[in-house]
Structure 1
Amino acid sequence: MDHDFIDTIYEAAVVPELSKGPGLLDQLARRSQSRDGVLMGVSPDGDFRWIGNDSVIPKMQAYIDGGWGSKNPYLHSEERSRKFAEPRFLMDTDVMSVEEMMESEYYQGFMRPHGCFWHAGTGITSPSGDIIKLSVHRSFEEGPLPKEVTTALTELRPHLARAALLASRLKFEQIKSTVDAMETLGIWAAALKNGRLVVANKSFASLIPGVIRDHRRRLVFAQKAADARWASLLDARVAKLGGSFPIAAEDEHPAMVVHALPIAGAAHDIFNAADLLLAITPVLKDAKVDDGILAGLYDLTPAEASVAREIGLGRSVDEVAKSRDVSVGTVRAQLHAVFDKTGSKRQIDLARLIFGLSK
């Protein structure tokens, strides 16, 4: 057993960047008489992430762009999937016959043209339910991988599995530390993955179940308008783009603003414990509200922020138009944009949102 390489495995678990380029995955491929080394993460919802050595990067991009994941014959057979769940490395020929591979659209349309026809791989289940798939590949012309390759890889598998679980746990602890730190700043914060709650600080947890409900499918907001806005952000892949939306004041709580903040790099991190931070801040009744704050909270233009503040103070559209020497139509258009961005439907709703008025 190569103890130096085992050290490399655990080092890469702590510093994931060491898996890429000429790092762990490239070394694993070369030790396996292969060219490509790739690590893929598949969530229970089908969310797909990957990292690899340099040679596999253009191939994986073509794999994703061509939708080849949905054509993978291993996923279409319960028996084949069950085999890859065994705690060992398997070669493709352990799961499919050469004849089946030669007739497969997946192998002939993607694997062979991209020089990754023959491969060996294994699956590792993480505590979050994600399946971590680790595989090495080489071209059709180079011939099937020797049997001793899977034997050697299987000897390394316990170390690779422990390293994967360690990396997953470290990521979770990093996210938890971030959420807890936001508590000290007076921010109600939680980390989510695919819309579901992963970890929350005490202030955020206090909002459950009155304001927020921790459902298994996704986090749900008690107010229908807020939840509809949240659902629309999820549909728009908020984990990549971010967004903000309001929660109107009620007798039990002030108005609040929910900020959805993408966790940088999560899309490319196999072991990401979460992909989104939710930071909730109350809007206090006596708080001073300026245009810059409104613009930042709701992605408003300077003109829209100014109109929002004036309307929130109880001024009419006509009064705002006259004071700015613009047409009523211009102010109405800006107000409609404000309604859309804040999730408000009426001027009174906007006032409640901005100034924390009770119902």
Structure 2
Amino acid sequence: MQQASVETFSDLIGSIYDCVITPERWTGVLDEICAELGFATGALSVASLTNMKAVVNAVSGSDLAVMTQNAIGYGPDIIELWGGAARIQQYPLGEPIVQSQAVPQAVISGNRYYREWALPKGLFDAVAVGLVRDKAMVGNAIFSQHESAGPVDDGQIAGLRLLAPHIRRAVTISNLFDMKTVEATTFAATVEALKVGVVLADEESKIVHSNAAATAMLEAQDPILMRHGRIAVQSAATTTTLQSAVAQAAKDEATLGQKGIGIPIPRPGGDPLVIHVLPLRRSPTRSGLIQRAAAALFVASAAGPPRLPHDALSQLYDLTPAEIRIFELICEGQTRDAISQSLGVAVSTVKSHLVHVFQKTGCRRQVDLVRLARSLTFPV
């Protein structure tokens, strides 16, 4: 397939963020992604592990209502089709995993779900993208390839890789709203009722509004505070990262990418917290929520304790989850071939991510990456 234009992706990314406020739009978004990237079907599933309820459950494509019903009886077979539960845990979040590259063909061909359901429909391959995997939620997006379209190509992978962080941000924030549709007329009341802190800021990170939870945080100066009218935290480096994400969200949400997803807030005490940044301006759906606000900042509990150097690599060097995982495995002494096999991606993909790691960190050799990892093991 041909690479989609920036303009097309911008519209699509805007539609993804609209799903935060109007979750019933997810099916339409999946339709758009399938049409744009040439997939036959698409499914988005995010479930809460606290109450075992679906946060998002949307499907797109022919016969998918029937497929969804049939998939219930094929649960173990579908897990096996992706290499098993332990293998799935190793796949980096946000990285498209091509089934035919990650799992031996003999395993795929002998799989009951593949033989009885996918193959008769002409669906001979699939791509999965992990969206969230923590103590609170688990979620994935899976796109199937019809045999008439040929093998999954680099353009499809590149498109999913670009869209993945936006989908991840949208479903994470959707969970904070408990997947309820938010009307512009009731947005203020909805935000006010949220237990998480919500700050609305303009393009310069100046605070336009804060709900009761965020106001209490600002008054206590923990974990957020106000400096010259702008949202900030105690850490200067984290404040820079946060304000940069807000500025980028206001300027061009399509290029926001990984920035602003779960920014960790260093705290001397208390439970770990993170900040998620939701762009507001570009879409009429979101821009109508409140005047002057360029972004909504959600201060929420972290899914787990801060991980160093993992969080530092994301915060300081803007590494993606896939790049961080490869960084970690390289530092453990694994070869590129071994990483390719464990993560279920092509060796060329590992090499490409590693090039990005070197470029972003300024390192030239693998030994330099090891030194960098050691330097980030403790707060600096």
Confirm or deny a common fold (TM above 0.5).
no
TM-score of the pair, normalised by structure 1: 0.43
Q: Which is higher, the Rg of structure 1 or of structure 2?
A: 1
TM-score of the pair, normalised by structure 2: 0.41
